[in-house]
Amino acid sequence: MIGAKRQPVPRGDTNSPVAICDLGTFSGLILIARKRGGRIEAIREEAHTVDLFRESGSNRNVGSAALRRAGGVLARLDALAAELGCMRGTVICTEAIRSAGNRDRAVAALAGHVRFPIRVVSQRQEALLSASGSLIGLPGSRRPSAVIDVGGGSTEILFPKVGQGWSFRGVRYGAARATREWFADGKPAEGLAQEQAARTFRALRLPDSLPGHRMVGVGGTITTLAAMELRLRSYSAGRIHGVRLSVGRIEQFAHFLLGKSEQQIARMIPFDPARARVLTAGTFLWAGVLNRVGAREVMVSAHGLRWGAAARLLETNPS
């Protein structure tokens, strides 16, 4: 668990905080946030491992053990919301729940753990929330920003349209799914892992102008790599937010991790040792997608979908 404690908000505060859970394929991310001085401020953030693909079979059902893990995260969100006076909140479910064979039953089971509504979003909606949240608090740029989110079960790319709005590209492939398929019989050879990552993104139709964009990266893999680059022993969103990683450096990480055991990798990331299981595949995916879009580097965002969802709630007047 990654957590940062701050002072609770008085219940009488008219600008009451909101409670968000990004229930992803591998992680359940909690954010309690409020608006202060026109800016969104995190009161508390936590990350929990849910690993919803772990027990799933060919029918892609979310298993009972995974639902218990996810239910525990939602119960934690509910408790924090009560403690910190959150009147509004939401749970956002992404690829693992979205594609589950037992999706409706899974959502019904999860609803018993939390007072807030549960939304299962499309891949495009997921990408839009991630993009809007990831840019909060990042330094500005004269170049347009494209946002890449490599999650546990899917990868999304958003880039600005000519005029306004966003264009979306995505694949239903992420770090947890790649780990399950690539590493089923042990670690693949280095060249094979590179080829598998490249093949994942080969069919994406992208505009010729995309290499001129600033690339912003979101998700557990890229923030973990940024923490490793900074040699952090404990997670610090403030230090990670805005870090730049070159494609060459990410490729170095991929080759390095492929030669390590899960236990060795876990020791390198004491703030999130459970991620060691999916970090190698996720790193190869990051190298693959950045090479596909013609990027030389990525700016890491420690925010993402939960921040985008919080921004939307905080901009909506309470009923």
The DSSP bridge partners found for residue 32 are: 19, 44
Residue 17, token pair as written in the block: 């905080």
Residue whose entry in the numeric block shows the structure tokens 């490249």: 198
Residue whose entry in the numeric block shows the structure tokens 């494609």: 247
Radius of gyration of the chain (CA): 19
Quick one: pLDDT at residue 14? 47
Q: With b meaning 16 or more CB within 10 Å and e meaning fewer, what string describes 135-168?
A: bbbbeeeeeebbbbbbbbbbbbbbbeeeeeebbb
Tell me the C-alpha to C-alpha distance, in Å, between residue 212 and each of 34, 160, 247, 257, 296.
Answer: 34, 12, 15, 30, 10
Measured in whole angstroms, the distance separating CA 69 from the mean position of its chain's CA atoms is: 17
Quick one: pLDDT at residue 5? 38
Segments of the chain assigned E as strands: 2-3, 18-23, 27-36, 39-49, 88-93, 118-120, 145-150, 155-160, 166-171, 214-218, 244-246, 297-300
CA gap 255, 232 in Å, rounded: 20
Number of other CB atoms surrounding residue 289 within 10 Å: 27
Task: Judge contact between 262 and 252, C-beta under 8 A.
Answer: no
**Confidence tier at 317 by pLDDT (50, 70, 90):** low
Do you know the residue count of the chain? 319
Which own/partner contact pairs does 53-58 have at CB distance under 8 Å and 24+ positions apart? 53/25, 53/26, 53/96, 53/152, 53/153, 53/176, 53/177, 53/180, 54/176, 56/96, 56/100
Per-residue pLDDT tens over the stretch 205-258: 988 888 889 999 999 999 999 999 999 999 999 999 999 999 999 999 999 999
Residue 125, token pair as written in the block: 């909606």
Amino acid at 256: F
Quick one: pLDDT at residue 13? 46
**Confidence tier at 32 by pLDDT (50, 70, 90):** very high
Average pLDDT in the 162-182 region? 90
Quick one: pLDDT at residue 59? 65
Number of other CB atoms surrounding residue 118 within 10 Å: 19
Quick one: pLDDT at residue 17? 96
Per-residue pLDDT tens over the stretch 175-196: 999 998 888 777 777 788 899 9
Whole-angstrom distance between the N-terminal and C-terminal Cα of the chain?
33
Average pLDDT in the 84-106 region? 96
CA gap 235, 285 in Å, rounded: 22
Q: Does pLDDT of 89 surpass 50?
A: yes
| pTM of the shown model | 0.90
Quick one: pLDDT at residue 7? 38
Segments of 111-259 assigned E as strands: 118-120, 145-150, 155-160, 166-171, 214-218, 244-246
Residue 74, token pair as written in the block: 């939602």
Per-residue pLDDT tens over the stretch 39-69: 999 999 999 999 998 877 666 899 999 999 9
Dihedral sign, CA of 285, 301, 314, 164? Answer: negative
Quick one: pLDDT at residue 71? 98
Q: Cα angle vertex 91, ends 86, 92, to 5°?
A: 140
Instruction: Give the residue among 97, 90, 101 at the shortest CA–CA distance from 52.
Output: 97
